[in-house]
């Protein structure tokens, strides 16, 4: 994020303005992400995980769920995001298949760890993690998993009353995000002289217009899952 140096001045509001504008810029980016997130949760179809053993609906993740969703997207001719990583002669590493991306909650990371040895490979166990994204947690079969604390969760909405996590798995052609000319990411500052008749208050705001679209509905699925056991924060 670029620091809003353009608004530096010599008045006493400088520090406050700089801090608030930085927070506002973060909020603006998060707002973009959350809008896209909620849109995908609403518009894309769902697969309830059934490969886990917790007896809920959806169940916790089993490796067969990763296999099922990858099979579904492959059958629908979706394009994978990443080509595979060839195996190397390094202890504790293994090859990574060409993969779709899955966007998951950080709260599921312990469940993914529980699948180690059954198909889950942490990104530190990739032969090389040069292509791993900063938020990438690991890989199961043809799915590479990105985690975020902002991933969607419906609290207490499962058949047995547990939290339901929405894990969006997508092929390359699934969605697009459109920023309209002249309306992408405006951080607006109007000094007090322009903001009120008495020049008492400044205006600090963000404005953006965006459009998102599912360009190919067959190349995206929300896999719903619960956790194997309760969380302790």
Partner 1 sequence: MAEYSRLAQGKFTAVTTGAAFAITLPFLPDFVKVINLGRIAAGAGVYSAEWQRDMGQGAAVLDTANVLSYVTPATGTGIRTVSAGLGEQMGPVVLLGAGGGITKNAGAPTVTTTAAHGLSVGNVVVFSNLYQTATTGMQQIAGIPFKVVTVPTTTTFTIDWDTSGTNYTAIATGGLNTNASFRQVLFPALYAPDDAIIAAVAVAADGINTKITTTAPSNVQVGQEVAFRIPRVWGPVELNSLPNSVIPGSPIYSYVTSVVDADNFVVNVPFASLTAFNANQPFASFPGLKFPQVVPVGDINSGGFPYNGNALYPSPTVFNGFQGSVTVPVTTINGPAIQGAFINATFQGFIVGTAFNPTAADVILWRAYMNDYNT
* Closer residue to partner 1 in complex, CB, 55/95: 55
* Closer residue to partner 1 in complex, CB, 77/116: 77
**Residues 6 or more apart whose Cβ sits within 8 Å of residue 177:** 36, 210, 211, 212
Give min distance, CB of 5 to partner 1, in A: 29
Q: What backbone torsions phi and psi does residue 207 show, to the nearest 5 degrees?
A: -145, 135
* Closer residue to partner 1 in complex, CB, 14/38: 38
Give min distance, CB of 93 to partner 1, in A: 32
Which residues lie near partner 1 (CB under 8 A)? 34-35, 37-39, 41-52, 54-59, 75-77, 152-161, 164, 166, 196, 201, 212-214, 217-218
Decide: 75 and 151 in contact? Cβ < 8 Å.
no
* Closer residue to partner 1 in complex, CB, 131/212: 212
Give min distance, CB of 98 to partner 1, in A: 18
Give min distance, CB of 74 to partner 1, in A: 11
Angle (nearest 5°) at CA 228 between 39 and 128:
75
Beta bridge partners of residue 146, listed in sequence order:
103, 136
A 10 A CB-CB count for 5 gives: 7
Q: What backbone torsions phi and psi does residue 100 show, to the nearest 5 degrees?
A: -85, 165
For residue 10, the 8-state DSSP code is S
* Closer residue to partner 1 in complex, CB, 46/98: 46
Give min distance, CB of 211 to partner 1, in A: 9
For residue 85, the 8-state DSSP code is B
Decide: 154 and 163 in contact? Cβ < 8 Å.
yes
């Amino acid at each position: 994020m670029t620091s809003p140096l353009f608004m530096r001045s010599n008045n006493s509001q400088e520090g406050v303005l700089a801090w608030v504008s930085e927070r506002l810029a973060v909020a603006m980016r998060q707002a973009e992400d959350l809008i896209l997130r909620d849109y995908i949760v609403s518009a894309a179809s769902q697969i309830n995980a059934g490969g886990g053993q917790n007896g809920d609906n959806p169940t916790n993740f089993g490796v067969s769920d990763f296999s099922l969703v990858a099979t579904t997207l492959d059958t629908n001719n979706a394009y994978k995001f990443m080509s595979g990583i060839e195996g190397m002669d390094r202890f504790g590493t293994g090859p990574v298949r060409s993969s779709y991306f899955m966007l998951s909650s950080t709260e599921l990371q312990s469940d993914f760890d529980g699948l180690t040895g059954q198909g889950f490979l942490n990104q530190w166990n990739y032969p090389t993690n040069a292509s791993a994204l900063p938020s990438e947690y690991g890989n199961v079969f043809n799915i590479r998993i990105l985690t975020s604390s902002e991933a969607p969760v419906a609290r207490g909405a499962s058949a047995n009353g547990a939290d339901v996590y929405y894990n969006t798995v997508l092929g390359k052609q699934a969605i697009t995000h459109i920023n309209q000319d002249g309306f992408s990411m405006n951080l607006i500052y109007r000094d007090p002289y322009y903001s009120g008749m008495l020049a008492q208050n400044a205006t600090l705001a963000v404005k953006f217009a965006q459009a998102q679209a599912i360009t190919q509905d067959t190349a995206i699925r929300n896999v719903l899952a619960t956790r194997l056991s309760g969380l302790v924060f």
